[in-house]
Amino acid sequence: MDGATEQVIEVDKSASLTVDVHFDFVCPWCLIGKRNLDAAIRRLGSLRPDVSVEVRCHPHQLLPDIPAGGVPYQAFYVNRLGSAKAVDARRAQFRRPLARRACNWRSTGSK
């Protein structure tokens, strides 16, 4: 050799990732986000099995002024979105990503 020394560096190949999730239990968009997060974690696990993932869930009430007994569903959303047509459009918008994640969502229309 030309006088150079070989240096060996040990690398810790294990890594961790912590994800803090803030969600509302009754929020349909939160369900979509949860399904997407689950898929991303599975994908990461297949690509980087050395990475451990910790998901920390933090409940958050999106509409804290809603009474504990709830409110009539359709009337609430018509009031919130402006019309029955807007409610139908929002439902359709919501169902598309659910279908991609093979989720079923049923709204009974009650409360």
**Mean pLDDT to the nearest integer, 40-59:** 95
**Mean pLDDT to the nearest integer, 70-79:** 89
Neighbours of 90 (CB within 10 A): 14
Domain ranges of the chain: 15-100
pLDDT of res. 73 = 85
pLDDT of res. 110 = 43
Angle at 61 between CA 66 and CA 79, to 5 degrees: 40
Q: Which residue has the tokens 């297949």?
A: 46
- Cα distance between residue 109 and residue 76, in whole Å: 11
3-class state of residue 98 by DSSP: helix
pLDDT tens track for 16-42? 999 999 999 878 888 888 888 999 999
- Cα distance between residue 51 and residue 21, in whole Å: 18
- Banded pLDDT at 94 (limits 50, 70, 90): confident
Whether 111 has a pLDDT exceeding 50, the answer reads no
Whether 59 has a pLDDT exceeding 90, the answer reads yes
For the chain, give the mean pLDDT: 82
CB under 8 Å to 90, separation ≥6 — which residues?
A: 77, 81
